Amino acid sequence: MQNNGKLALCFHTLFVIFLMAPLVVVMLVAFTPHGYISYPTDGFSLRWFRAILENRSFIQAFWNSLYLGIGAASVSAVLAVPAALAIARYQFRGREALVSLFLSPLMIPHVVLGVAFLSFFSRIGVYGSFYALVAAHVIIIMPYTMRLVMASVFGMDRRVEQAALSLGASQWTVFRRVTMPIILPGIAGGWILAFTTSFDELSMTIFVASPSTTTLPVQMYNHIAHTIDPLITSVSTVLIVLTALLVLILDRIYGLDKVLIGKG
């Protein structure tokens, strides 16, 4: 590959600045020593990070989001693995329809899902339940889990399983000792991507979350709609740093481009 020209590098620099500027600004303001939005030009303070710990609603929302993400990503993985095995290994009627069904949440605007879940949950009387929220999130994140698990099942060499079988392993043993370890990176990648998607989801959750099950993005959105202060920037900074760490892990074990670009 040849090098880029000067003009191209200028464009690239501007692009990276455009992409990073909003995030950098948020992180800078978080270190302000003042009680209002300002840049830390005259001092540097961690008071707004300490303020997070004293804010019960943000802390509670963080735990809600964490449990929600872990719960929803795990349920989606449990549902996705057998379904992906069926889709990847069997030719049966309705196979294509099944794939479309599992990927369909990708083409439904999240606001529409929010409206639909709110109507449904309040009709059957589970509005405000944490488990209802988990179920709604499973629907939203299933396509991501499904794509990555399917990609790893399609990609594995089945002769390894056949070898184990011919050496006398039972089918359950083959699944547990051969298949699972091979497709585990795919499941893990799908789980992390699903968790992140669930953790960040706002447009659907804002309809379904009740005051007691408020998630972090919903809490942040409500905070911003009310007032913009340094506290929200320090919360955002923590989120940016945590996401960056997760990206590093994802990139190391799986390759970020494969997770996000590979259509699976």
Partner 1 sequence: MAELASMLPTTTPRFLPKSLIPWLLSAPGAIFFLMLLGMPLLMILVLSFNSFDYAEGIIATFSFANYMEVIKDDYFHEIFFRTYAISIAVVVLCIAIGVPEAYILSRMRSPWRSLFLVVTLTPLLISVVVRTLGWVLLIGGNGLLGKALEALGIADASAGNLMYTHTGIILALVHVLVPFMVISVWAALQKLDPSVEHAALSLGASHPTVFRRVVVPQIMPGMLSGSLIVFALAASAFATPAILGGRRLKVAATAAYDEYLNTMNWPLGAAIAVILLVANVVVVMSYNRMMERRFRRTLG
Site for partner 1 in 39-78 (CB under 8 A): 78
Residue among 46 and 101 whose Cβ is closer to partner 1: 101
Residues within window 81-100 making contact with partner 1, judged by CB under 8 A: 82-83, 85-87, 89-90, 92, 95, 98
Q: Is the dihedral of CA 51, 55, 61, 64 positive or negative?
A: positive
From 43, 168, 211, 225, residue interacting with partner 1 (rule: CB under 8 A): 225
Question: Which residue in 101, 160, 184, 253 binds partner 1 (CB under 8 A)?
Answer: 101
Smallest distance, partner 1 to C-beta of residue 239, A: 6
**Segment 160-219, which members bind partner 1 (CB under 8 A)?**
161-162, 165-166, 170-172, 174-175, 179, 196, 199-200, 202-203, 206-207, 217
Closest by CA position to 119, among listed 204, 198, 211: 204
Separation CA 178–CA 241 (nearest Å): 36
Which amino acid, residue 175?
F
Here's the x/- map for partner 1, 133-162, by CB under 8 A: it reads as: --xx-xx--x------------------xx
Q: Does 239 bind partner 1 (CB under 8 A)?
A: yes
Least distance in angstroms from the C-beta of 53 to partner 1: 19
Residues with Cβ within 8 Å of residue 247, at least 6 apart in sequence = 256
The answer to whether 117 touches 80, Cβ cutoff 8 Å, is no
Q: Which of 68, 141, 150, 232 binds partner 1 (CB under 8 A)?
A: 232
Q: Which is nearer to partner 1, 119 or 212 (CB)?
A: 119
Nearer to partner 1, 46 or 245 (CB): 245
Q: Which is nearer to partner 1, 111 or 184 (CB)?
A: 111
> With CB under 8 A, what is the number of residues at the site for partner 1?
97
